[in-house]
Structure 1
Amino acid sequence: MKRRIWFVLLAAALFLPGSLAAQEVSFSLGDDGSVSARTIQLFALITVLSLAPGIAIMVTCFPFMITVLSILRQAIGLQQSPPNMLIVSLALFLTYFIMEPVFTQAWANGISPLTNNEIGIETAFERTIEPFRVFMAARLDPETFFAMAELRPDTIDEVPDENAALSVLVPSFLLSEISRAFQVGFLIFLPFLIIDLVVAAVLMSMGMMMVPPAIVSLPFKLAFFVLADGWSLIAGSLVKSYF
């Protein structure tokens, strides 16, 4: 029964008069009736929506947070605990806690006036990205920025500030954040490495060479981390590094 109904509707649509079909197409596409223009707009909208989460992560402190937390889990010796979803969620909420003033300023300056039809899209984009420019410029490593700028002839004269080109500012910021995260990760790794070395030395002195030191040292590392209130210390230190 459903197939017959769909067949009748399809036949009716195919045999509509030419003027009526043209009116329907013009109504569905807009006043101008331009198929190519609407197609390009739809393609651009889908592209922006698919890239929006990645772009939002690139210009925030999320790369720094997720890298440090991943190194911390590796230093403790736990492969799947906390799970990846929990690590990513913690990094996201810490990122939101740090970036909330930037998000608020970007919304007030650019997105809100655009939704109220007070400014155009280009002006809204510049006003929205401006707080992120200031945030990224404050965390830039000048040497990394100049190294990136020298890779292209037209960006050699760029200065590491909020007015720099986004094509240089964003990758320089990401590289600086990852480099800083590895430096912090090295400092986090040292206490757990010392525990591993001590446990390995004790096992060797006792002649227990067949016992894996990682298994014996894991409870001691967990106890050390819990007694030191490690999660609060790590989260507090990461947040304070941005203020």
Structure 2
Amino acid sequence: MSNCSRCLLGLRPKCDGLAWGLGLCLLFIASEGWAQVGPQLPLVIGKGRESASYSVPIQTLLFFTALSFLPALLLMMTGFTRIVIVLSLLRQALGTQSVPPNQVIVGLSLFLTFFVMGPTLDRIHEQAWKPYSANVLTFEKAVAKAEVPLREFMLRQTRQSDLALFQKMSGIEKTKDIRKLPLRVLVPAFVTSELKTAFQVGFMIFIPFLVIDLVVSSILMSLGMMMLSPVLVALPFKLMLFVLADGWNLLLGSLAASFL
């Protein structure tokens, strides 16, 4: 049996270190030579300034890098913030700890956001994506076209006081045409307005359930049932009130109508 076969079968305890070292050096030299001779991935395709574009590997890299900004885009520039906060406050007002679960709340908020943002997304698709996919617009012009419907949506939902606050903090002079405000001013003002609106809606949701809690607590104290939890007793009445009033229909319909 040869030395190499003895080494592979474990019959030889130790191979020659010099032979292993020479083999690794040869592999390294061969890989370096292939890397120098082999094909290189181009960064840019085209020589002219207008026709130059990134190659497919670079475009793929930029695309997956842009995916990391999608959660921020979804949270800060759509109605998702208001919807998910209102649904979370509803669960807290009902007194149910994990019903509906977080996955259901986030999923419902996501699809309701798509429903609310439908007209805006349709305009972006018609005015920006279709011309860009047909090579009528460049990427920069397509982004500028897509920004217009999204900016109009955020301006409709933003309070003037919030716009004035962030405009003053940024040092930008007041302008009559608020459509020309930069996104670094518009986006935080829009999120602040969404938070205010969400907490106002949450306050209105809490009132009837708080009345039920007060009534149940007063009855239990008058009966001397100190050891019985008022939350446990009030929960069935809260659920019954919410179902009889068709609460899901009223709440989701009101949320969708609040963006119109």
Which runs of at least 4 in structure 1 moved beyond 4 Å after TM superposition?
Answer: 7-12, 37-44
Distance 1:116 1:217 in 2: 60
State the TM-score, normalized to the length of structure 1: 0.85
Distance 1:71 1:53 in 2: 22
Describe how 1:21-60 pairs up with structure 2 within 5 A: 21=38, 24-25=39-40, 28-30=41-43, 44-60=62-78
CA contact (8 A) 2:43 2:58 kept: no
Distance 1:17 1:99 in 2: 49
Equivalent in the alignment of 2:211: 194
Distance 2:158 2:105 in 1: 25
Instruction: State the identity as a percent.
Output: 40
Equivalent in the alignment of 2:100: 82
CA contact (8 A) 1:195 1:221 kept: yes
Gaps of 5+ in 1: 1-6
Matched, 1:207 2:220: no
Task: Using the TM superposition, give the Cα deviation of residue 211 of structure 1 relative to its aligned residue in structure 2, in angstroms.
Answer: 1.5
CA contact (8 A) 1:136 1:162 kept: no
Deviations along 1:21-68, whole A, 9 cap, x unmatched?
4xx12xx22567xxxx98987765443221023213321111010011
Distance 2:184 2:60 in 1: 25
Cα pair distance change 1:201/1:129, threshold 3 Å? same
Equivalent in the alignment of 2:112: 94
Equivalent in the alignment of 1:3: none
Q: Larger Cα Rg: Structure 1 or Structure 2?
A: 2
Distance 1:29 1:67 in 2: 47
Gaps of 5+ in 2: 1-23, 46-53
Cα pair distance change 1:99/1:209, threshold 3 Å? same
**Number of residue pairs matched by the alignment:** 228
Residue 196 of structure 1 aligns to which amino acid in structure 2?
Answer: D
Equivalent in the alignment of 1:123: 141
Residue 164 of structure 1 aligns to which amino acid in structure 2?
Answer: L
Matched, 1:142 2:160: yes
Distance 2:127 2:110 in 1: 24
1:151 is paired with a residue of what secondary structure?
Answer: helix
